[in-house]
Amino acid sequence: MRQKPLTFVAVVMFSLAILDQSEAGNSKFSIIGQVLDLDNRPIAQAAVYAHLAVPEQAETPPCALANDEGRFSIQIEKPGKYVISAHQEKEGYADTSAVAFGPPAVPLPEVEAGENPAQQQVVIYLGPKAGKLIGHVIDAETSLPIESGKIELCQRTPQSVFIMHASIYKGDVQLLVPTTPFTLKVSAAGYRDWNGNAVSSEPGVFVIGSGDVQELEISLHPEKDTH
Protein backbone atom coordinates (compact mmCIF):
# COMPACT_ATOMS: atom_id res chain seq x y z
CA MET A 1 0.00 0.00 0.00
CA ARG A 2 1.38 3.38 -1.04
CA GLN A 3 1.48 6.11 1.54
CA LYS A 4 2.88 9.59 1.26
CA PRO A 5 3.80 11.42 4.46
CA LEU A 6 1.28 14.18 5.03
CA THR A 7 3.78 16.71 6.19
CA PHE A 8 6.45 16.50 3.48
CA VAL A 9 6.69 20.27 3.01
CA ALA A 10 6.65 20.85 6.77
CA VAL A 11 9.46 18.31 7.22
CA VAL A 12 11.58 20.10 4.60
CA MET A 13 11.02 23.46 6.30
CA PHE A 14 11.77 21.87 9.68
CA SER A 15 15.06 20.43 8.39
CA LEU A 16 16.10 23.76 6.89
CA ALA A 17 15.34 25.52 10.15
CA ILE A 18 17.58 23.10 12.05
CA LEU A 19 20.35 23.66 9.50
CA ASP A 20 20.04 27.44 9.88
CA GLN A 21 20.33 27.14 13.65
CA SER A 22 23.38 24.87 13.50
CA GLU A 23 25.16 27.38 11.27
CA ALA A 24 24.27 30.46 13.33
CA GLY A 25 26.94 29.84 15.94
CA ASN A 26 26.09 32.90 18.04
CA SER A 27 23.33 31.63 20.30
CA LYS A 28 23.30 32.98 23.84
CA PHE A 29 20.61 30.81 25.37
CA SER A 30 19.67 27.16 24.95
CA ILE A 31 16.74 25.02 26.01
CA ILE A 32 17.62 21.41 26.68
CA GLY A 33 15.37 18.60 27.72
CA GLN A 34 13.63 15.34 26.97
CA VAL A 35 10.37 14.24 25.37
CA LEU A 36 8.51 11.55 27.33
CA ASP A 37 5.20 9.74 27.12
CA LEU A 38 2.77 9.76 30.04
CA ASP A 39 4.52 6.68 31.51
CA ASN A 40 7.86 8.54 31.51
CA ARG A 41 9.26 6.56 28.57
CA PRO A 42 11.41 8.45 26.04
CA ILE A 43 9.88 9.29 22.66
CA ALA A 44 12.49 9.12 19.91
CA GLN A 45 12.66 11.46 16.92
CA ALA A 46 10.05 13.91 18.20
CA ALA A 47 9.98 17.35 16.60
CA VAL A 48 10.32 20.05 19.27
CA TYR A 49 9.50 23.74 18.84
CA ALA A 50 10.02 26.86 20.94
CA HIS A 51 7.22 29.33 20.19
CA LEU A 52 7.34 32.91 21.37
CA ALA A 53 4.45 33.32 23.82
CA VAL A 54 3.60 36.57 22.02
CA PRO A 55 4.69 36.11 18.39
CA GLU A 56 6.14 39.22 16.82
CA GLN A 57 5.72 38.09 13.21
CA ALA A 58 5.12 34.96 11.17
CA GLU A 59 8.39 33.05 11.19
CA THR A 60 9.66 29.52 11.72
CA PRO A 61 10.18 29.00 15.46
CA PRO A 62 13.47 27.64 16.83
CA CYS A 63 13.28 23.85 16.67
CA ALA A 64 15.16 20.59 17.12
CA LEU A 65 14.75 16.87 16.51
CA ALA A 66 14.97 14.68 19.59
CA ASN A 67 17.42 11.79 19.51
CA ASP A 68 16.60 8.13 20.18
CA GLU A 69 16.46 8.87 23.92
CA GLY A 70 14.08 11.76 23.41
CA ARG A 71 16.73 14.35 24.28
CA PHE A 72 17.03 17.64 22.44
CA SER A 73 18.69 21.05 22.53
CA ILE A 74 17.27 24.23 20.99
CA GLN A 75 19.36 27.34 20.46
CA ILE A 76 17.56 30.62 21.16
CA GLU A 77 18.67 33.80 19.43
CA LYS A 78 16.02 36.23 20.60
CA PRO A 79 15.26 36.95 24.29
CA GLY A 80 11.66 36.44 25.36
CA LYS A 81 9.15 34.03 26.83
CA TYR A 82 8.84 30.75 24.94
CA VAL A 83 6.30 27.91 25.05
CA ILE A 84 7.79 24.51 24.19
CA SER A 85 5.71 22.05 22.16
CA ALA A 86 6.37 18.76 20.38
CA HIS A 87 4.87 16.06 18.19
CA GLN A 88 5.78 12.65 16.82
CA GLU A 89 3.22 11.90 14.12
CA LYS A 90 4.68 8.53 13.08
CA GLU A 91 4.05 7.21 16.60
CA GLY A 92 0.60 8.83 16.80
CA TYR A 93 1.40 11.87 18.96
CA ALA A 94 -0.22 15.06 17.69
CA ASP A 95 1.23 18.53 18.11
CA THR A 96 0.73 19.53 21.74
CA SER A 97 0.06 23.10 20.64
CA ALA A 98 -2.77 22.14 18.23
CA VAL A 99 -6.04 23.39 19.69
CA ALA A 100 -8.18 20.82 17.84
CA PHE A 101 -6.70 18.01 19.96
CA GLY A 102 -7.69 19.68 23.21
CA PRO A 103 -5.46 20.84 26.05
CA PRO A 104 -2.34 18.75 26.63
CA ALA A 105 -2.51 16.21 29.45
CA VAL A 106 0.49 17.95 31.05
CA PRO A 107 0.83 21.75 30.65
CA LEU A 108 3.45 22.83 28.13
CA PRO A 109 6.69 24.08 29.67
CA GLU A 110 7.45 27.79 29.46
CA VAL A 111 10.92 29.31 29.39
CA GLU A 112 12.08 32.89 29.85
CA ALA A 113 15.13 33.27 27.62
CA GLY A 114 17.47 36.07 28.59
CA GLU A 115 20.34 37.78 26.81
CA ASN A 116 23.09 36.16 28.88
CA PRO A 117 24.49 32.69 28.06
CA ALA A 118 22.49 30.08 29.97
CA GLN A 119 20.71 26.75 29.70
CA GLN A 120 17.28 25.80 30.96
CA GLN A 121 16.09 22.24 31.19
CA VAL A 122 12.52 21.14 30.49
CA VAL A 123 10.51 17.94 30.07
CA ILE A 124 7.75 17.69 27.46
CA TYR A 125 5.07 15.03 27.84
CA LEU A 126 3.20 13.64 24.84
CA GLY A 127 -0.02 11.68 25.05
CA PRO A 128 -2.53 10.26 24.95
CA LYS A 129 -2.14 9.28 21.32
CA ALA A 130 -4.46 10.68 18.69
CA GLY A 131 -6.49 8.56 16.30
CA LYS A 132 -5.23 8.00 12.76
CA LEU A 133 -7.26 8.15 9.57
CA ILE A 134 -5.96 6.52 6.39
CA GLY A 135 -7.94 7.17 3.24
CA HIS A 136 -7.74 5.65 -0.24
CA VAL A 137 -9.55 7.88 -2.73
CA ILE A 138 -10.61 6.39 -6.06
CA ASP A 139 -12.68 7.24 -9.12
CA ALA A 140 -16.09 5.58 -8.67
CA GLU A 141 -16.25 4.64 -12.38
CA THR A 142 -12.72 3.43 -13.09
CA SER A 143 -11.54 2.47 -9.57
CA LEU A 144 -8.28 4.28 -10.35
CA PRO A 145 -6.63 6.42 -7.66
CA ILE A 146 -7.47 10.12 -7.79
CA GLU A 147 -4.18 11.95 -8.23
CA SER A 148 -4.87 15.01 -6.12
CA GLY A 149 -7.51 16.58 -3.93
CA LYS A 150 -8.10 17.53 -0.34
CA ILE A 151 -9.79 16.27 2.77
CA GLU A 152 -11.39 18.59 5.29
CA LEU A 153 -12.03 17.49 8.86
CA CYS A 154 -14.48 19.52 10.93
CA GLN A 155 -14.78 19.18 14.68
CA ARG A 156 -17.62 21.05 16.37
CA THR A 157 -17.90 21.82 20.06
CA PRO A 158 -20.50 23.94 21.87
CA GLN A 159 -17.94 26.76 21.99
CA SER A 160 -16.18 26.61 18.64
CA VAL A 161 -15.46 24.89 15.32
CA PHE A 162 -12.04 23.49 14.38
CA ILE A 163 -11.15 22.64 10.77
CA MET A 164 -8.13 20.65 9.61
CA HIS A 165 -6.98 20.05 6.03
CA ALA A 166 -4.82 17.41 4.38
CA SER A 167 -3.85 16.76 0.76
CA ILE A 168 -4.58 13.68 -1.31
CA TYR A 169 -1.56 12.38 -3.21
CA LYS A 170 -2.01 9.65 -5.80
CA GLY A 171 -5.13 8.42 -4.06
CA ASP A 172 -3.72 8.27 -0.55
CA VAL A 173 -4.17 10.53 2.46
CA GLN A 174 -3.47 10.09 6.15
CA LEU A 175 -3.69 12.33 9.15
CA LEU A 176 -3.90 12.29 12.91
CA VAL A 177 -7.37 13.12 14.16
CA PRO A 178 -8.95 14.13 17.50
CA THR A 179 -10.61 11.38 19.51
CA THR A 180 -13.85 13.39 19.65
CA PRO A 181 -16.55 13.15 16.92
CA PHE A 182 -15.81 14.85 13.60
CA THR A 183 -17.14 15.08 10.04
CA LEU A 184 -15.27 14.73 6.76
CA LYS A 185 -15.49 16.27 3.32
CA VAL A 186 -13.35 14.94 0.49
CA SER A 187 -13.11 16.93 -2.73
CA ALA A 188 -11.21 16.84 -6.02
CA ALA A 189 -11.47 18.84 -9.22
CA GLY A 190 -14.06 17.37 -11.56
CA TYR A 191 -15.75 15.26 -8.88
CA ARG A 192 -18.70 15.60 -6.54
CA ASP A 193 -17.78 16.10 -2.89
CA TRP A 194 -17.93 13.08 -0.58
CA ASN A 195 -19.24 13.63 2.95
CA GLY A 196 -19.23 10.13 4.41
CA ASN A 197 -22.98 9.63 4.09
CA ALA A 198 -24.26 7.77 1.04
CA VAL A 199 -27.99 8.28 1.76
CA SER A 200 -28.19 11.88 2.91
CA SER A 201 -26.71 15.31 2.34
CA GLU A 202 -25.99 15.46 6.07
CA PRO A 203 -22.32 14.64 6.72
CA GLY A 204 -21.47 11.35 8.37
CA VAL A 205 -19.94 11.47 11.83
CA PHE A 206 -16.71 9.60 12.61
CA VAL A 207 -15.03 8.71 15.90
CA ILE A 208 -11.56 7.16 16.10
CA GLY A 209 -10.22 6.25 19.53
CA SER A 210 -6.82 7.02 21.00
CA GLY A 211 -4.14 4.98 19.23
CA ASP A 212 -6.70 3.45 16.84
CA VAL A 213 -6.40 3.45 13.04
CA GLN A 214 -9.33 3.58 10.65
CA GLU A 215 -8.98 2.98 6.91
CA LEU A 216 -11.56 4.29 4.47
CA GLU A 217 -11.99 3.61 0.78
CA ILE A 218 -13.59 6.72 -0.65
CA SER A 219 -15.21 6.67 -4.09
CA LEU A 220 -15.71 10.02 -5.79
CA HIS A 221 -18.24 10.34 -8.61
CA PRO A 222 -17.45 12.54 -11.61
CA GLU A 223 -19.58 15.68 -11.71
CA LYS A 224 -21.18 14.56 -14.97
CA ASP A 225 -22.39 11.34 -13.26
CA THR A 226 -26.05 11.79 -12.32
CA HIS A 227 -26.49 8.40 -10.63
pLDDT of residue 159: 74
Residue of higher predicted confidence among 6 and 122: 122
135 and 119 share one domain: no
CA distance 154 to 93: 19
The number of angstroms, rounded, from the C-alpha of 204 to the middle of its chain's C-alpha atoms is 23
Question: Percent of the chain, pLDDT > 90?
Answer: 72
Within-domain flag for 227: no
18 and 99 share one domain: yes
Range from 55-59, 116-120, 214-218 carrying the lowest mean pLDDT: 55-59
pLDDT of residue 112: 96
**8-state DSSP, 20:** H
Residue of higher predicted confidence among 186 and 9: 186
Beta bridge partners of 169: 148, 172
**Domain final residue, candidates 126, 148, 174:** 126
Q: How confident is the model at residue 15 (pLDDT cuts 50, 70, 90)?
A: very low
Range from 40-54, 109-123, 156-170 carrying the lowest mean pLDDT: 156-170
CA nearest to 128, candidates 175, 66, 178? 178
| Measured CA distances, 23 to 117, 163, 226 (Å) | 18, 37, 58
Domain that holds residue 12: 8-126
* 220 touches 185 (CB < 8 A): no
Number of domains comprising the chain: 2
CA distance 116 to 28: 6
Q: How confident is the model at residue 23 (pLDDT cuts 50, 70, 90)?
A: very low
60-71 CB burial, b ≥16 within 10 A, e <16: ebbbbebeeebe
Mean per-residue pLDDT of the chain: 87
